[in-house]
Every structure is written in structure tokens, then in C-alpha cells.
Amino acid sequence: MIRHLAQTSLRAALLGAASLLPTLGSAQSADAVFETPNRPSLNFYGVTGLIDMPSAEMLPDGQVAIGISTFGASTRTTLTFQALPRIQASFRYSGIKDANIAGFDTYRDRSFDIRFLLNRERRYLPAVTVGLQDFAGTGIYAGEFVAATKNFSGGRIPGNIKATVGLGWGRLGSSGSIGAPFGSNRPQFQSGDTGGELSVDQWFRGEAAPFAGVEWQINDKWGVKAEYSSDAYDVETTQGVIERKSRFNFGAEYQVSNGVRLGGYYLYGSEVGLNLQIQLNPNRPVSKLRIPAPRPYDVRPSRRADPAEYDTDWLVSEAQASAEVRDVLIPLLEAEGLTLIEVKTTTSTTEVRYSNQRYGAVAVSVGRVARAMARVLPASVETFRIVPVVNDLAQSVVVFRRSDLEALEFAPNSPDALLAVTGFGSADPVLAGAARNETLFPKLNWAIGPYLTQRYFDPNEPIRVDAGIALSMSYQPAPGWKIAGQVQHRLTGNVSEIFRQNQSNLPRVRSDAVEYDQGGDTSIPRLYVSRQWKAGPDLYARVSAGYLERMFGGVSAEVLWKPVASRLAFGVEANYVKQRAFDDLLGFQDYSIATGHASAYYEFNHGLTAQVDVGRYLAGDVGATFTLEREFANGWRLGGFFTLTDATAEEFGAGSFDKGIKITIPANWLLGKPDTRVRSTTIRPFSRDGGARLNVPGRLYEQVRSGHRQGLVGNWSGVWE
């Protein structure tokens, strides 16, 4: 047996080759579209448009854009996401200096936009888009529009010309009105409005006004714009922060690089403005990702040519054979950044369970395991059962016929051909009779390094940052068990300088955040023990206890039902927690609560995942959170959520209900090398007590889904990489 393994290993080693390949697919049309001279540019609101007016254009699918603009006393920073080919969504943070609105020297406003492409541009027809601007804010920028845009290129004029005409309502219909086609009853902006609620009764109501403009992209660097604006700037002119003398705006823009564009403008006959546009596409693969090329599959001789190779007398006992395969596979997988957990082999079938510390796409790790198995297993082993494991949870079993791997590696459309003959199933909770890697437990991990804490949207200081040093440790005494914690020490920052009077009408489960910020320089954000295990073929379970998050500690239990091939999953979580002391060390306060949720998850096409959580929140309010998130092939994830509970808008306070944006960026996209870590952040316009959910470490769904069928198929071409 050992001699055979050594011979097979040597033969495969001679066939190996080293090179550098990206792991995340091939460059796609998203960049190609973006690099053409008629690429969409952003307006002063940070959305596709002219100068201050919108256009009907959409960004390339998945594109993320950041617009930073300033003119007069107004500054706007906007994050725009092309969520789907026909749907664009934006979040904006604006400031109007010296406006004396709501008692602030600089009035700061948060607003959301959304637009829908009704008709794609065709040879004779323009693109047509309908949009809602500031549809869930205070209403200072609220407006609706219908716009049409047509591209004209060729002929005697170089470059590309885009013409836009449109009709606006609300703010976009405040100058040059032609009437009120859908009714004149539209409430005006009120400076004391807390915002946050959908003003459906205002949409497309009131006076409507036309706008128009033209953009000439002269070459791949320079472009010029001119527009006729339908925005009267009533609030700003009333407050005396700008003087509006004209309805016409003019500007010139320079493409600094593929993702950066800078523009200068003359607006409304009196103001000079600047606009910085940054665009990047999550669909883009990591062009400099450094991954050694995989070895070619070791191909067995045919049974007819060498029938002795297929003898099964090498198997004296399954236990002994499994142990020998384990010992040979451990270093091979370690060389790939993978860890062997256990192996079981028979004369015809071998199952390998492993964990992945390197590849963001699970399919890549599955392919690397299959290649290692082909190097060492005797020819009689025809069936490969490969089980990715995350935090001791067996995700699924991927079943290959060895002959398919050998035959299809260089076949046309090889990923699709292999997918058609690959099986996906539930992994047994326990692999009976397996040879385990005995070196894995107990295991101690620790890390020490810098940390940053950010707080957004303080009216007096929009971004506040603390910096310090953090020590993180985890100890795993046995499979499924973990004791983990973190100690932080703040060295510098201004987060604790936030001063905001708390006027919450609910139990202060989140609005006392400033008291925690001011509690002391040294804190213990988390310190807990947890156990998680697979309770059945499609059932996963977790129990955690301790200081579960910065503000609460207690006990949490969760059960998740998630079949491997199903797009649907259900989970239940129950918690009993107590509020922690403000110093973030080991004490508690008097407030305690039982909280929990029932959750449903569904994976749509295009990488979209919807989640609905129904239950009781930390402040005792009852309701539901709705989340929609899109994941791209290279690991980027963007989405949004909102929570509606029985807490009224008045009880909730400014913002009316909880909502926000979620962004996840994989570390390999930033580092240019394989890495499974991600950096996630949640941007909430307002953080209040209503709709506040416990932040439990290690919720099950995200641990499980990447190794199930949908997660694997989304990056299936990686199985050959």
C-alpha cells in the first residue's frame, strides 16, 4: 500500500507545474462596458446623470459608485449600487453649511434613492427610467422623475453624445412648472421632520417641470456637459446659502483612471462646483491574485492495459487503509492551505473531510482535494466523496466519479460537463470508522494587532474613529467546542466625545452606546463559550453562553434546517440576556430580556439571498427584519435591510424605523492573495432602540451555506483551478 502511494505521488509530482492564476473566473463584460467612451457618469447627487439632473442610464450590473460633490454650501457623499441590471439604489449623506435648519450650523441629511429601468436603449428608442429621490428621508431632497436618454455616435463629430430629457416632481419639479398632471396636493419640506417613513402619498404629486441636457464624451479622457435644471433650490435660496440666477449648468470632466473621474462646473449662474466620481465593479476578478496552478489530474491506466492496477488486495482492513491514506494526504492538503480532518476508505470509495483556510471559493478547495486524492489512491477507488467542513460543521458531500474527473479536465465546457455528472448530498453528522487527524485538538489560536472603531453620522462630526490594540484568543478543546474572547485597549480617538441627548421612549438597549464609549479605555467586547454540532443530515445546532456582544451577555441557542440542494432554509434562535455594565468589563446592569427569532432564508438567482427574521427584539418590541443581499463570484456582498416592529415611529425617534446597508469585502480582493477572511460593515442612518437584535457570534446560516449546492455552483469553474 505505502509503496503504491509513493509511486503514485512521485509520478504526479513529475507532472506538476507552477504558475500564477486568478481563482475567481475570467474578466467579464462588466469592465468592458465600463471602459467604453459612453460609460455612465455621475451627477452631483452621486447617481447616473448629467450635472444636477438625473439621466435614464444604468451602471454596469453590480457596479459600486461613490460620488463626492460640493458647490455653494452643499456637500453630498453618495454610495450607489447597481443591484440588478434594471434596479439602481443609493444612500446619500449631505450637509448644507450655514443653513440654520433645525438649529444646526451645518444641516446634515440622510436619504435613499431608487430607480427602475423601464426600457433599454435600442437602435431607435431611448432608455427610459423612473426614479424616486429621497423617498425615505426628511424630504429636503425628495423628488421623482421620468427620464429618457439616447446615445449618438459616429458621423463627423468625434466621441459620443448622449441626450437626456425628463420630467420631474417635488424638488425636481420646482422650477419651470408645466402643471400638476397627477394632483397638486404635495406637502412641503418641514425642518422638524424626523424622516424615515415612505411618503407614498407625495410621489408624483404636485407641480411637474421638464429638464434636459447633453453630454459629449470627446474621447476616452475628456467630456463636457450642459443641462437645463428644473430644481429651484428653494430651501437653499431661502436660507441665503446660494444665489440662483440661472437654470443652466455647465461642466467639464476628466477621466483620471478607469475608476476615477473628476469634474468642474459652473452652476445656476453663480456657483462653482467640483465632483469626484469613484466606480468599481465587484464582478471584476482579482487580476493580481497569486495562486499556484493546480497539478494535472493523475490519470489511471485503463483496466484493459493494466488490470493488475485495479486489484483490491491492497486493502487488509479499512481502518489500516484509512490511516495510511490519512497520513499521506495530510501534507499534500497542507501544501494547498487545507487541513485534513478525517478519512474513510474502502476498495471503491474514499470519503475525505477537510477544512479550508485559503480559498474564498469553496469549489476551488474541492477541486484541490480531488487532485490530491487522485495522486495517492489506488486505481480501484472510483468514487470520491469530498466533504468541506467549517468550524466542525460538515457542510455537504460532493460526489465525483474518478473517471469523470480524468475524462473532463480538458473537455469543452468542462465545468458544465462535470457539474452534470456530480452528486451533492447531505454529509452524515459522524463519519463512523474514519481515521481522524489527531493533531487538531486541543488547539489554541491568538492574535494581537491594531483595531479601528468607527461611528458615523454624528451631527457635529460625521465620522469619529477610535484606534487601539486588541488581543484575540480562542481555545478549542474538542470538535465543536470553542472558548473565545477579545480584550481591547483604546490608544487614541474621539468616539467618546459624542454628545447626544438620549430621548428614547423604549428601553435603552442601543441608544446608550455613548455611555459604553465613555466607559473606559480597556474593554472586553466578547468572552464566551460555544458548542455547535450537526444534529442530523440537514439539521445544525449551536449553544453559546457568556458576554455575547458589547452590550449584552447571557445564553443563546439556535437550530437551523438547511438541506444541501435546497434554496430554502429555516432557523430558530432563542436568547436570554442581561445588559452589561458601561465599562465593558465583567459587570451587569438590572435590565434583562428573553428575545429570539424564527428565520427563513431563500437563495434566488443572480446571487441574491433574501432573509426574513420574525420575533422579539432587545427592547421588547415585536416585528420582523427583511434583508436582501447580493453575492458576487469574487466574494463581494452588498445588500440592505429594514425592520418594522410594533414600536411606533414616535417611540423609535429620528428615522422612524431601523434600516441600513450591509457591505462585505473579501480580504483576497484587497490583498491580492488567497484568503478566506472578509471585512464586513453595516451602515445605519440612525441607530436606535427599536428593532435592535442581539449580535451573537457564530450564527449558523452563514457558516453552512457556502458549501451547499448553490454556494458551490456559483463558483463551480473553480473546481478546475
Instruction: State how far the Cα of 179 lies from the Cα of 373, in Å rounded to an integer.
Output: 74
pLDDT in tens, 493-537: 888 777 665 567 899 999 888 888 888 899 999 999 999 999 999
DSSP-based helix, strand, coil % in the chain, nearest 5: 15, 45, 40
Cα dihedral sign, 201-202-208-211: negative
Instruction: State how far the Cα of 51 lies from the Cα of 267, in Å rounded to an integer.
Output: 9
Helix, strand, or coil (residue 449):
strand
Instruction: State how far the Cα of 281 lies from the Cα of 497, in Å rounded to an integer.
Output: 36
Query: Inter-axis angle of helices 2-15 and 362-376, to 10 degrees?
Result: 120
pLDDT of residue 678: 84
> Would you put residue 583 in left (φ > 0), alpha (ψ -120 to 50) or beta?
alpha
Phi first, then psi, for residue 367 (nearest 5°) are -65, -40
The model's pTM is 0.86
Which residues face 579 on adjacent strands? 552
Instruction: State how far the Cα of 116 lies from the Cα of 86, in Å rounded to an integer.
Output: 6
Cα dihedral sign, 357-360-362-368: negative
pLDDT of residue 287: 52
Residues 6+ apart with CB under 8 A from 652: 196, 506, 658, 688, 689, 690, 691
DSSP 477: S
- Tell me the chain's radius of gyration from C-alpha atoms: 29
Query: Inter-axis angle of helices 318-334 and 2-15, to 10 degrees?
Result: 30
Structural contact between residues 507 and 572, judged by C-beta atoms closer than 8 angstroms: no
Helix, strand, or coil (residue 235):
helix
Structural contact between residues 9 and 372, judged by C-beta atoms closer than 8 angstroms: no
State the cell numbers at 500. Answer: 447626544
State the cell numbers at 547. Answer: 458576554
> Would you put residue 502 in left (φ > 0), alpha (ψ -120 to 50) or beta?
beta
Structural contact between residues 44 and 273, judged by C-beta atoms closer than 8 angstroms: yes
Instruction: State how far the Cα of 373 lies from the Cα of 400, in Å rounded to an integer.
Output: 11
The three state secondary structure string of 557-601 is EEEEECCCCCCEEEEEEEEEEEEECCCCCCCEEEEEEEEEEEEEE
| Closest to 97 in 3D by CA, of 84, 106, 85 | 106
pLDDT of residue 184: 80
The helix (H) or strand (E) run that includes residue 610 is strand 608-616
State the cell numbers at 359. Answer: 480559498
Phi first, then psi, for residue 669 (nearest 5°) are -70, -30
Residues 6+ apart with CB under 8 A from 712: 362, 363, 366, 396, 398, 424
Instruction: State how far the Cα of 538 lies from the Cα of 565, in Å rounded to an integer.
Output: 10
The helix (H) or strand (E) run that includes residue 702 is helix 700-705
pLDDT of residue 446: 95
Instruction: State how far the Cα of 718 lies from the Cα of 721, in Å rounded to an integer.
Output: 5
State the cell numbers at 679. Answer: 471585512
pLDDT of residue 498: 73
Amino acid symbol at 354: Y
Structural contact between residues 389 and 362, judged by C-beta atoms closer than 8 angstroms: no
Residues lower than pLDDT 70 in the chain: 1-38, 100-104, 137-138, 188-197, 285-290, 499-503
Find cell 470519503 and name the residue: 351
Structural contact between residues 458 and 489, judged by C-beta atoms closer than 8 angstroms: no
Residues 6+ apart with CB under 8 A from 497: 461, 464
End-to-end CA distance of the chain: 29
Query: Inter-axis angle of helices 362-376 and 318-334, to 10 degrees?
Result: 130
Residues 6+ apart with CB under 8 A from 6: none
Instruction: State how far the Cα of 211 lies from the Cα of 166, in Å rounded to an integer.
Output: 5
Amino acid symbol at 15: L
Per-residue burial over 150-176, b = 16 or more CB atoms within 10 Å of its CB, e = otherwise: beeeeeeeebbbbbbbbbbbbbbbbbb
Residues 6+ apart with CB under 8 A from 449: 469, 470
Q: How far is CA 25 from the centre of its chain?
A: 18
DSSP of 51-111: SSSB-S--PSTT-EEEEEEEETTEEEEEEEEEEETTEEEEEEEEEEEEEEETTEEEEEEEE
The helix (H) or strand (E) run that includes residue 223 is strand 222-228
Q: Please list the alpha-helical segments (H only) found in 290-356.
A: 318-334
Instruction: State how far the Cα of 412 lies from the Cα of 622, in Å rounded to an integer.
Output: 54
Instruction: State how far the Cα of 506 lies from the Cα of 645, in Å rounded to an integer.
Output: 12
